[in-house]
Chains A and B, each alone.
Chain A
Amino acid sequence: MEKLTKDLKENVQYFKGLFKDCDDILFREIEIGDEHKVKIIAIFVDGMANKEFVSDSAIQSLFWKDDLNHIPVDETYELFFNRIFKEAIASAELKKEDKIETIIDNILSGDTALLVENMDKCIVIGSRDGPSRSIEEPKTETVIRGPRDGFNEIMKFNLALVRRRIKDPKFKVKFKQVGRRSRTTVAVLYIDDIVDKKLLDEVKKRLDNVDIDAVLDSAILENLIEDNYLSPFPQVENTERPDSVAAALYEGRVGLIVDNSPFALIVPATMGTLIQSSEDYYERWSQTTIIRIIRIIAMFLSFTAPALYIAITAYHPGLLPTKLIYFLAASRINVPFPSVVEAILMELTMELLREAGTRVSGPIGSTIGIVGGLIIGQAAVDAGIVSPLMIIIVAVTTISTFAIPSYEMATGFRTVRFTFIALAGVLGLYGVVLGIIVLLSHFIILSSFGIPFTSPFSGLGIEEGDLKDTLVKAPIQRLWLRPGFTNPKNKRRMRGHKK
């Protein structure tokens, strides 16, 4: 059956057959009219639809509206149906529908369908109201200064949070359904007169090409639409903060909000954008500049620190000051392992602690931190299994990964770190440099929705002055133009310099 038929019984039979064994789907049969009776059946999902709202504004008003119950004998069902639609139901969101597929979609999303006797149409009442969490502070991206609201799992709230920041009719929200079974709604967000049309088309094309049965979180969608899914590095940015999404839209990028996920996606993501954090824009520029540079150093250390330690201790001790070499040799004198084994051992322990600490939260988590970090570290040094300097290196490496704003980027670096340790063990400093060559090659080859991942460091957007907001951050007054790498239609943010 594609469309509803005139026969109510047949329709109801069809839906009952379809929703067989779905005990959470409720069928409410009502009868109105004094002499002449008309049967109406409401179908909705318990818990997804707001039951109170359905009873108050639909069922109750059908029962109590006097003139509705005096049905003239000569009135056709069509007229009666229109009367209900126009006069009886007090709901802001109401539509007529006859396509079964759409009706099923609506019911399963929490709407209520009213099937009326002898009509091949039904009324769909927008009654979506699932369980939800309140707006909380984002857990992964906390700021000292700046807005504290974060996304939750309900898309319409998330959209409202963004819309509140862009009160412009040019801000567009396009819905798309993804997932054959999960039927997850994805909202494509963009500002029409800023975004590059080519980028937008590419995003839409990739969303259309997604073929999977369920999209449970935006992370799954992210993997499905990114350029190179084999890469350890993300090519899509994700954020829990509505202000980050709004800022990205103003830069001419495209946002994706996936229903049931508190993480919005932003494309394209480049090296320049992945080292930015939303707080950068709320702090003074000098502060931010220093922090950005520290982040770059952290990024570098997060994958090279243990490798450099190995390379220098095992291959090139001559590079260090003489006193430091003596200290190093003295501290390693009791260590039975070569520094590669030492490094891999400690890095693995650290990963273990990190993983255990993430899985259990709260007080137990901090216990793991204390037991792992302090006690094991101290004991390992006392027992002479590792040198104290190695502990320092491992700690610095781990802390460095936390200083990278993008968690996915940090995980990427964590993954390649072991390769670097191995390379340093085999070829020393030369091995580390070879590793850097391959890693840089990978970054240079990588692209995000057709835009080079290394932008703006590899040329794209340099002429527009993109460097002003990467390694350094110029004062807001100096950022006249939107970043050039997104090729925005409207380039100017503010009046200012003539150029």
Chain B
Amino acid sequence: MNKDPKVSNIQIRGLIVSTVIGVGVLSLPNTLTMTMGNKGWVTIILAGILIIPILYIINYIFKINPGKDFFQIGEETFGKIIFKIILIIMMAYFIDFCAYVVRSLGELVEAFLLPTTPIEVIVLSFILATSYLATHEIDVITRGGYFLYPIILLFAGIVILISIPEADFSNLLPLNNIDYSQIPRGLLDSFVSFAGFEMILFALPYVENGKDSTFKSSVYAMAMITAIYVLTYVVCIAHFSVEQLGRQLFPVLQLVKQVDLPGFFLENLDGLIMALWVLVVASTFIPAYFAAGKVISKIFNLKSHKYIILILIPIIYFLALYPRDILQINKILLKPFNILGLMTGVILPLLFLIVILIKKKVKK
């Protein structure tokens, strides 16, 4: 009926939660113990709190430019050429995001579900399956995000609940010896798992009712994500202790695999958890995929991003399969992902704010 996409305030929450929680939730406990020992939860909470001002800035940008979308605002604040460069950085970020996510998924599915299937098949079939939704507009994407949001809660809920009986919470002690010099590293590691909240750049301008409380719902979403991360981290530490956790690349899956539920129909839950996790990853991958397509279509001034999504299929596929092993994945995909993520997630909103404030001053 109405060609203009519309998003509701409550959907923003679902979109943020489902985009952010994805690959990171499985590996975060491991990466954090490397730097923070058993105090990883400190940096998770810190990162969550530090993102709140960024969310506020993004909300503020859209508040003072009502009725305009991200690309219009960007062009007006930075000028055409500089904004194109910014868009190219964003494009690289989202493509890298997609490649990293889908490669991690491929590795894990191969390891836990389909040991004999070549990873190429797993990666390609996943990209093809998700491209169907990604060709649609932001309202459909947010709808999808909200629809999958209970599945994410279910996933997190199952992981946390089944591991509690065998947890040893004394592994968290002592609580007071925090190594402050490691906090910046830990913060960076935690920040990476919060990547994906930039999606609200695309969704916020289309919120139709309750525009004033979008900030509130994005903070609410962030709080939820932080809580889920902290809980999984605590559960993993309690289950494995720091020394063991340092050796588990994907401790959450290992944890699920170790938990036995004698007497239940499904004795081992790892299959079910993996299946749910694939859905969780899809809800991360689709918005990023959509964003990559959207940004590219704006770079080339195209009206629709439909065909870009199709063109991106081989690009993401080859980029995802380019690294040979986990070490290379970290070097080729994860490192740039961290840097680009910081640029689009932190520096870009700050730049926006600075330029807007300077322009305001000049006008006065």
Give A contacts to B, CB under 8 Å.
198, 202, 312, 315-316, 318-322, 427-434, 436-438, 440-445, 449-450, 452, 454, 457-460, 462-463
Contact = CB atoms under 8 A, between A and B. Distances in A.
Which 9 pairs across A and B sit closest by C-beta, in order of nearness?
Answer: A450-B1, A441-B133, A459-B11, A458-B143, A319-B271, A459-B146, A321-B267, A433-B278, A434-B129
Contact of A427 (B117, B148, B272): B117
A321 B14 contact: no
A445 B133 contact: yes
B140 A315 contact: no
A318 B269 CA distance: 10
Contacts of A429: 113, 271, 274-275
Given A437-B279, A444-B140, A427 B121 contact: yes
Interface string B100-123: 000000000100011001000110
A321, A436, A441, A445 — most chain B CB neighbours (10 Å): A441
A432 B278 CA distance: 11
A319 B136 contact: no
B132 interface: yes
B130 A458 contact: no
A458 B144 contact: yes
Nearest to A446: B140
B301 interface: no
B114 A428 contact: yes
Contact of B130 (A428, A431, A437): A437
A232 B274 CA distance: 28
A441 B268 contact: no
Nearest to A431: B125
Nearest to B139: A452
A441 B132 contact: yes
A66 to B, nearest CB: 63
State the majority secondary structure of interface residues on A: helix
Nearest to A447: B1
Interface in B124-150: 125-126, 129-130, 132-133, 136, 140, 142-144, 146-148
Given A316-B113, A437-B129, A432 B147 contact: no
Given A321-B267, A428-B113, 8 more contacts: A320-B265, A428-B114, A432-B275, A437-B282, A438-B129, A444-B133, A444-B143, A460-B8
7 contacts: A315-B113, A318-B271, A320-B267, A428-B113, A430-B113, A433-B279, A441-B129
A451 B132 CA distance: 20
B1 A458 contact: no
Interface string B7-23: 01011001000000000
A436 B279 contact: yes
Contacts of A449: 1
Nearest to B13: A459
B98 to A, nearest CB: 15
A437 B271 CA distance: 17
A335 B140 CA distance: 46
Given A318-B268, A437-B279, A444-B133, A458 B125 contact: no
A351 to B, nearest CB: 26
B266 interface: yes
Nearest to A438: B129
Interface of B: 1-2, 8, 10-11, 14, 109, 113-114, 117, 121-122, 125-126, 129-130, 132-133, 136, 140, 142-144, 146-148, 264-268, 270-272, 274-275, 278-279, 282
State the majority secondary structure of interface residues on B: helix
Contacts of A452: 143
Nearest to A423: B125
Nearest to B209: A463
A268 to B, nearest CB: 10
B152 to A, nearest CB: 13
Nearest to B135: A445
Given A432-B275, A438-B132, A454 B143 contact: yes
A321 B265 contact: yes
Given A437-B129, A449-B1, A459 B142 contact: yes
A445 B147 CA distance: 12
Contacts of A428: 113-114
Nearest to A443: B147
Contacts of A430: 109, 113-114, 117, 122, 275, 278
A437 B14 CA distance: 17
B147 A440 contact: yes
A450 to B, nearest CB: 3
B48 to A, nearest CB: 24
B11 A458 contact: yes
Contact of B1 (A198, A436, A440, A463): A198
A459 B10 CA distance: 6
Contacts of B282: 437
A315 B114 contact: yes
A459 B148 contact: no
A315, A318, A434, A437 — most chain B CB neighbours (10 Å): A437
B147 A458 contact: yes
A442 B148 CA distance: 13
B119 to A, nearest CB: 12
B125 A427 contact: yes
A61 B272 CA distance: 81
Contact of A459 (B14, B117, B268, B270): B14
Contact of A444 (B147, B271, B274): B147
Nearest to A319: B271
A410 to B, nearest CB: 21
A442 B143 CA distance: 12
Given A427-B117, A427-B125, A450-B1, A319 B10 contact: no
Nearest to A323: B267
A323 B267 CA distance: 11
A434 B125 contact: yes
Contacts of A444: 133, 140, 143-144, 147
Contacts of B10: 459, 462-463
A425 B109 CA distance: 16
Contact of A319 (B133, B146, B266): B266
A116 B343 CA distance: 88
A452 B8 CA distance: 12
A322 B267 CA distance: 8
Contacts of A436: 279
A441 B290 CA distance: 13
Given A316-B271, A442-B132, A450 B114 contact: no
B140 A445 contact: yes
Nearest to B266: A319
A323 to B, nearest CB: 10
Contact of B146 (A427, A431, A441, A458): A458
A327 to B, nearest CB: 13
A372 B338 CA distance: 61
A32 B114 CA distance: 93
